[in-house]
Amino acid sequence: MQTFIASRDALDDACQLMDSFGADAALEAAVRAEGARDRGNVLRFCHWRQIERVIVTLSDAEPKGTVH
């Protein structure tokens, strides 16, 4: 699976969570997404779900897909 990173802010948020939460960074992003959904904030829900996917991609030891 390839992950599209929409903006530098998205990458920065993913890196910040990885620095702060280590192996639990993706879980923290998921918690933030659920909180945003519970508050009815669809945009922030989508943002944090994307961050969760970016963290999983960045955490993979092996590249996925075509490497250029």
Which tens digits make up the pLDDT trace of 32-64? 999 999 999 999 999 999 999 999 988 877 766
Which residues span the domain enclosing 51? Answer: 9-59
| Whether pLDDT at 15 is above 90 | yes
In a domain, 17, yes or no: yes
In a domain, 29, yes or no: yes
Higher-pLDDT residue of 47, 2: 47
In a domain, 66, yes or no: no
Across 19-29, average pLDDT: 97
Q: What total of structural domains would you count in the chain?
A: 1
In a domain, 64, yes or no: no
Q: Are 18 and 58 in contact (CB under 8 A)?
A: yes
Distance CA 56, CA 22 (A): 12
Across 1-20, average pLDDT: 86
Q: How confident is the model at residue 19 (pLDDT cuts 50, 70, 90)?
A: very high
Distance CA 56, CA 34 (A): 17
In a domain, 65, yes or no: no
In a domain, 42, yes or no: yes
In a domain, 22, yes or no: yes
In a domain, 45, yes or no: yes
